[in-house]
Amino acid sequence: MTETFPAEAPASQDLFDRALAVVPGGVNSPVRAFRAVGGTPRFMVRGEGAYLFDADGRRYLDLICSWGPLVLGHAHPAVIEAVTRAAAKGTSFGAPTPGEVELAEEIVSRTPVDQVRLVNSGTEATMSAIRLARGFTDRPKIIKFAGCYHGHSDGLLAAAGSGVATLAAARTEADLAGLPDSPGVTRSAAAETIVLPYNDLAAVEAVFAVEGDQIAAIITEAAAGNMGVVPPAPGFNAGLADLAHRHGALLILDEVMTGFRVARGGWAELSASRGEPIAADLITFGKVMGGGLPAAAFGGRHEVMGHLAPAGPVYQAGTLSGNPLASAAGLATLRECTSGTYATLDRTAAQLSGLASKALDAVGVAHRLQHAGNMFSIFFTSGEVTNYDQARAQHVAAFTAFFQAMLAHGVYLPPSAFEAWFVSTAIDDDAVEVFARALPAAAEAAAA
């Protein structure tokens, strides 16, 4: 028997009560509120390596890693040193800096893009990439896929996966008709967004046949991670590029989650190494490239990026874009991420996911383990999961029971059945042991 934490977390609850008075829902991003799983969201006070420590002094093995950025774990010495050194020189200059040139050079050297523009969040990266695609093609519409999340800009909040799925688990097929996911998003904003089922090239082809000359771009997650992990079917991404180009549209590959996490050069590199190069016109980045600070980017070939202000007419800007602290954190993180890093992440992901699957098998819980590189998630279903409808057909209550038992045993999983689980290089044998010890009780809970 291992020690378990009580369900109550008094210090976190106290902070949550204070937060509820001054912050809507008590959190600054909805999924943190634990609404899908119930209970008190844990307020974290410190991170070190593979672990987070909450306000009640409890230690958790962290499989969220700040929703992807922390590939090296918490407070990695190289990152902390870089940020500290940068901070001592000033926090923001509102002028170009050497650090942002180095970060842009590092991104360009690892990926198929010629140029990047740095921004502050993945939302800004995808929103700006879409504006650029519209400006470049002089067309209004975009295609996105149900269950793919590209941030919270208006036109992209249609069938947008995890956060929204968690809030409104019981939505129907009608969502796919380009209806807004959120009040406040106008029908006209959502009407420019055509939402299609993921992994369905025939659906994309059919839309292009009817309104191909209206479509500026297809945007897709390089590998979907926001409805749980649903990898693209072989040929899907390359087929999207082909269809877009045949009709004069662009392909925007969203690597905010996969970029620099699944390989040195992100999913684009991984896919090319498997014999499927993806001829994307624009690629968006975020998460890992900021090393845990707010930084993101979008990039593409000269011809397209040259349309961006001040080189071209498409406007885009940011007071804190290319911020020196964020650039330093991102650069330090990327420089630590060598080929060996990805081999380690892959090994750890295989080990943890294998252990979880085995524990669920042992008590007869139907589930499906899905990977996209070292990102993975477990769907509590016996059916296949290749799109959002199938992801939503899972047994969410089984996940919830599993989540709560893991939390009680000191393992911090994403508090939603529709999220990827993230590993870091800080997960050592002891951390694997913490995970393994938590599993039998969690599997039993899921089986109940």
| Residues labelled as active-site residues | 149, 254, 287
Q: Does 419 bind ligand PLP (CB under 6 A)?
A: no
Choose between 56 and 254: whose C-beta lies nearer to ligand PLP: 254
Footprint on residues 40-79 left by ligand PLP (CB under 6 A): 67
Minimum gap (Å) between residue 416 Cβ and ligand PLP: 12
Minimum gap (Å) between residue 388 Cβ and ligand PLP: 14
Which whole-number Å values give the CA distances from 30 to 21, 162, 179, 425, in the listed order? 16, 10, 20, 27
Stretch that binds ligand PLP, among 115-123, 170-178, 342-350, 390-398 (CB under 6 A): 115-123
Q: Does 150 bind ligand PLP (CB under 6 A)?
A: yes
What is the spatial distance between Cα 151 and Cα 144, in angstroms, rounded to a whole number? 12
Stretch that binds ligand PLP, among 119-127, 169-177, 304-312, 397-405 (CB under 6 A): 119-127
What is the spatial distance between Cα 112 and Cα 104, in angstroms, rounded to a whole number? 13
Which whole-number Å values give the CA distances from 114 to 306, 335, 403, 416, in the listed order? 10, 19, 42, 37
Cα dihedral sign, 382-385-387-392: positive
Tell me phi and psi for residue 297, to 5 degrees: -165, 160
Minimum gap (Å) between residue 8 Cβ and ligand PLP: 30
Q: Which residues of 243-264 are buried (b: 16+ CB within 10 A; e: fewer)?
A: bbeebebbbbbbbbbbbbbbbb
Footprint on residues 130-149 left by ligand PLP (CB under 6 A): 149
Q: Does 254 bind ligand PLP (CB under 6 A)?
A: yes
**Pairing mode, if any, of strands 375-379 and 44-48?**
unpaired
Minimum gap (Å) between residue 45 Cβ and ligand PLP: 22
Q: Does 151 bind ligand PLP (CB under 6 A)?
A: yes
Q: Across 256-408, where does the E strand assignment appear?
A: 282-285, 296-300, 368-372, 375-379
* Residue span 161-180 as binding mask against ligand PLP, x where in contact by CB under 6 A, dash where not: --------------------
Tell me phi and psi for residue 218, to 5 degrees: -105, 135
Q: Does 377 bind ligand PLP (CB under 6 A)?
A: no
Return residues touching ligand PLP (CB under 6 A): 67, 121-123, 126, 149-151, 221, 226, 254, 256-257, 286, 296
